[in-house]
Structure 1
Amino acid sequence: MSVFDAAIVNTELSKPTSIFGLRLWVVIGILLGSLIVIALFLLSLCLTSRRKNRKPRADFASAAVATPPISKEIKEIVPAPAEIQVDIGKMEHRVVFSDRVSSGESRGTAGASETASYSGSGNVGPEVSHLGWGRWYTLRELEAATNGLCEENVIGEGGYGIVYRGVLTDGTKVAVKNLLNNRGQAEKEFKVEVEVIGRVRHKNLVRLLGYCVEGAYRMLVYDFVDNGNLEQWIHGDVGDVSPLTWDIRMNIILGMAKGLAYLHEGLEPKVVHRDIKSGNILLDRQWNAKVSDFGLAKLLGSDSSYVTTRVMGTFGYVAPEYACTGMLNEKSDIYSFGILIMEIITGRNPVDYSRPQGETNLVDWLKTMVGNRRSEEVVDPKIAEPPSSKALKRVLLVALRCVDPDANKRPKMGHIIHMLEAEDSLYRDVSIFFSAFSLSLRVEIMSNGGTLFLQERRTTRDHGSRDKQETAASESGESGSRHHQ
């Protein structure tokens, strides 16, 4: 730009304007300054808005650090039964929860302890369940609790998972089950099922604390019960005399029945355990039974069944109709419960190939012994004081009814509890169908001066042969007389 042009520009900028007589360069300066101020004001508003959005998270984090790790339990929000809907299909089922349950309070309360318990870790802390229950543990946290899932911490192992003893950062003792067959299961389906089961609270059920879903891992975290399981106390090396007396065993059976009755009849949707066995019955120091391991459990609506092509359970305990057709309902648990009663009474495994032929299968052997009026011989020899004939036959009746081949004739858990608790109840016309030896028994227990009646009907399959009916009665301890019907 030449000196002449610069002089012209300077002259133009120095001319007064109509705005209060201000020179042009002053007006331009004011406009530029105003634009800068407006830009800074808008930028300030934007930053303030962002800080407000981030403030709750900052407060949440600070509260988490300040909150002492007193308890890792989450405030439980139990939805009303009407808020749970279950759709059962032939090969699938879906559990839908209502959105009416507000999770703001539970997340705010629970999240603090969650973050505090996992502070110092390089990863994001475990998430709070989106349904207001339990904990979603991280794999790193459970590996730390179990010393890297080391073999020394293994306290149980089966075809569906390995159970480890663990200690959380707050000192809580837990049992961590690493599911094997559920690896790769849809994350949403797994979470929904575990969320529902996690709300279960009963003195005869082991409490499920939380779970882990990370990659292909599916893990469950339970309360730790420190007196072993029923399988260890029945089949383990406990000496010539078992600490499980007859009364203790009956109390264990009754406790199991109450826990299962709650799952079957006290919840909606009802829960079918699917893996009732002695290894899944934990015992506390007072010999109270606690049903554990809901890793295979299924949720079913009222009067519904679930059909699957993948039968889950333990060999020897699985109901025949479930094994053959995949049809699952609470009667499948009833069958397994009956097998477990027989195991508790006899001290024998459901299937034992080390025993002589005819004694391999517990159900068939027990039916044969009862049919031959030798029921007193089935009692576990490690029981120091055997039960009375009346008490034995009452519990045998319950066991035999539970393993009825016709699932529809098996009693419900509520009725089983009534039979176990009723000392002098009258049971008439109880038909028990036997699959082996073409044997059909009708067991009739009557309270009549201490006398018990056992009616046996044996049917031959020979053509043209006539049905033979034999009547046997147990002798009264006082009179020694024999009664015939």
Structure 2
Amino acid sequence: MSCLPCFGKKKTDEGGDEQAGSTRRGPMTAPAVVQAPMSYFGAPAAAPVAVAAPAAVTPAKPPGESDKGSSEDALRQGIEGKAFAFRELAAATDHFTPYNLVGEGGFFRVYKGQLEKDGRTVVIKQMDKHGFQGNIEFLTEVSKLSKLHQENLVDLIGYCADGDQRLLVYEHMDGGTLEDHLFDVPPEKKPLDWTTRMMVANGAAQGLEYLHEKADPPVVYGDFKASNILLDASFTPKLSDFGLAQLGKSGGGNMPMASPMMGSFGCLAPEYDRGGQVTMKSDVYSFGVVLLQLISGRRAVDTNRPDEEQNIVTWAQPMFKDQKRYHELVDPLIKREYPSKALNQVVAMASMCLQEEDCVRPMMGDVVMTLGFLTMLPPDPPSVEVVPAPAPAPVPVPDAAPAPKKEKKSHHHRHHSDSSSSSSDGEDAHEEEEEEEEEEEEEQS
């Protein structure tokens, strides 16, 4: 055991050295490298593989998962608005407490909030989180909405798509809704005058014209009504909730198709009742209802009125046919402070928008052109009423001043007068004597 031939070197036949154990190993020889079993590999290794710490293994994605992730990233990059974290919007609304709830739609709730970073007041619409199957549909619609910019549309500031939360963030309008200023006006509040009403109608028509004829792709509003027309401090109108009807439809099978129309009864076109579809021409019909509301100050449906007046369109139809009755449509709060020519054209335009057949309704561009002209017409001068003149007030009579003293007639003058006035009689002479006596008494006193 003193020699270990297994660990020595031997000469090869070619005269080179050969490492012992490379081809022959003794019973105590350990391999220089430990090889993994062949079953771990799909093919024989070309060289010995050392056992090391296992590397992080990325699980294989299901087919199409990689494309979906890249699509979401591309959609997010294409959205012209800020991506908010859910915690930011929760903090802005005090965790969506009920006292910040300002409205509710078919598949969303509307909260008023204040952003902590810049203190800006915003409106946050929280979508039904069970209505969307994933982010793709939601982000696709938000990307479209974020590219719609016009002075009569409410600006979309940003969105939130954290987990199953879907929220939209809009600018806040200080003036409230058109509905707030048009219906049930308290006595102490000044009602909207004719000029302001036409300005609101024209601005709302311009917003709708942009969605129909200038947006790419065109947008069907689907839920046009007075409560969706917001006003600023100077009564400039801006449309809200545009495009949300399509957003609701993109939510998948859990989203009821007609839910965006809740609360719009009386503003919807007849074809919606027949087929449940909204089009640009059904938007025109809804605009006609709002225009009629601006003229009359009435709600679209008012169950407090007599049966024949509860639906505003049914009530107005007989008056549409007789121009002499147009003035009966005007809100009594306006009185007669409006241009007669403008009233005739506005009522005619409302009648065209409210046609039963959608093909004969005008395009919104034609409506804008007409209303833009009418807003420049001044009101008629107030009519002059013939009022009977009041009886003249009695004129105060000043205190009688003392009669001026008459000069005392001299005896010579009396004698001359008596001699020269052959026609005077005894009565005249007697009167003169009495006057003389009165004068003497005054002088003595």
TM-score, normalisation: structure 2: 0.64
- In structure 1, how many angstroms separate the alpha carbons of the residues matched to 2:109 and 2:49? 62
**Aligned residue among 137, 141, 161 for 2:108:** 161
Gaps (5+ residues) in structure 1?
26-30, 51-98, 108-127, 300-307, 426-449, 452-476, 479-485
In structure 2, what is the equivalent of residue 140 of structure 1?
87
- In structure 2, how many angstroms separate the alpha carbons of the residues matched to 1:42 and 1:202? 66
**Do the aligned partners of 2:198 and 2:375 also contact (CA within 8 Å) in 1?**
no
Structure with the larger strand share: 1
Larger radius of gyration: 2
Q: 1:142 corresponds to which letter in structure 2?
A: L
Deviations 1:426-451 (A, max 9, x none): xxxxxxxxxxxxxxxxxxxxxxxx99
Helix, strand or coil at the partner of 2:215: coil
Deviations 1:58-113 (A, max 9, x none): xxxxxxxxxxxxxxxxxxxxxxxxxxxxxxxxxxxxxxxxx9xx999x98xxxxxx
CA apart distance, 1:191: 2.7
In structure 2, what is the equivalent of residue 318 of structure 1?
268
Q: Does 1:415 align with 2:374?
A: no
Deviations 1:329-370 (A, max 9, x none): 100110111101111221111000001232111112122344
- In structure 2, how many angstroms separate the alpha carbons of the residues matched to 1:379 and 1:288? 22
CA apart distance, 1:239: 3.4
- In structure 1, how many angstroms separate the alpha carbons of the residues matched to 2:110 and 2:133? 22
Helix, strand or coil at the partner of 1:176: strand
Aligned residues: 339
* Residues 41 and 233 of structure 1: CA distance in aligned 2, closer, same or farther (over 3 Å): farther
Gaps (5+ residues) in structure 2?
22-30, 36-46, 57-66, 248-255, 385-445
- In structure 2, how many angstroms separate the alpha carbons of the residues matched to 1:134 and 1:424? 35
Q: 1:279 corresponds to which letter in structure 2?
A: S
Q: How does 1:54-93 map to 2 (within 5 A)?
A: none
Query: Which is worse superposed, 236-245 or 326-335?
Result: 236-245
Q: 1:413 corresponds to which letter in structure 2?
A: M
* Residues 309 and 391 of structure 1: CA distance in aligned 2, closer, same or farther (over 3 Å): same
Q: 1:185 corresponds to which letter in structure 2?
A: F
Identity of aligned residues (%): 36
Deviations 1:117-172 (A, max 9, x none): xxxxxxxxxxx815343344444332222111111112223444321011234223
Q: How does 1:9-28 map to 2 (within 5 A)?
A: 10=4, 12-13=6-7, 15=9
Q: 2:347 corresponds to which letter in structure 1?
A: L
* Residues 132 and 310 of structure 1: CA distance in aligned 2, closer, same or farther (over 3 Å): closer
In structure 1, what is the equivalent of residue 300 of structure 2?
350
Q: 1:382 corresponds to which letter in structure 2?
A: L
Q: Does 1:381 align with 2:332?
A: yes
RMSD: 4.3
- In structure 2, how many angstroms separate the alpha carbons of the residues matched to 1:42 and 1:397? 89
**Do the aligned partners of 1:311 and 1:323 also contact (CA within 8 Å) in 2?**
no
Helix, strand or coil at the partner of 1:271: coil
**Aligned residue among 70, 76, 79 for 1:129:** 76
- In structure 1, how many angstroms separate the alpha carbons of the residues matched to 2:375 and 2:162? 54
In structure 2, what is the equivalent of residue 192 of structure 1?
140
CA apart distance, 1:185: 3.4
- In structure 2, how many angstroms separate the alpha carbons of the residues matched to 1:388 and 1:359? 26
- In structure 2, how many angstroms separate the alpha carbons of the residues matched to 1:200 and 1:424? 26
In structure 1, what is the equivalent of residue 97 of structure 2?
150
In structure 2, what is the equivalent of residue 242 of structure 1?
190
Q: Does 1:227 align with 2:178?
A: no
TM-score, normalisation: structure 1: 0.59
CA apart distance, 1:291: 0.4
* Residues 197 and 132 of structure 1: CA distance in aligned 2, closer, same or farther (over 3 Å): closer
CA apart distance, 1:218: 3.9
**Do the aligned partners of 1:261 and 1:414 also contact (CA within 8 Å) in 2?**
yes
- In structure 1, how many angstroms separate the alpha carbons of the residues matched to 2:291 and 2:144? 28
Q: Does 1:173 align with 2:121?
A: yes
Q: 2:87 corresponds to which letter in structure 1?
A: R
Whose relative contact order is higher, 1 or 2, with alpha carbons under 8 Å and at least 6 apart?
2
Q: 1:399 corresponds to which letter in structure 2?
A: A
**Do the aligned partners of 1:334 and 1:413 also contact (CA within 8 Å) in 2?**
yes
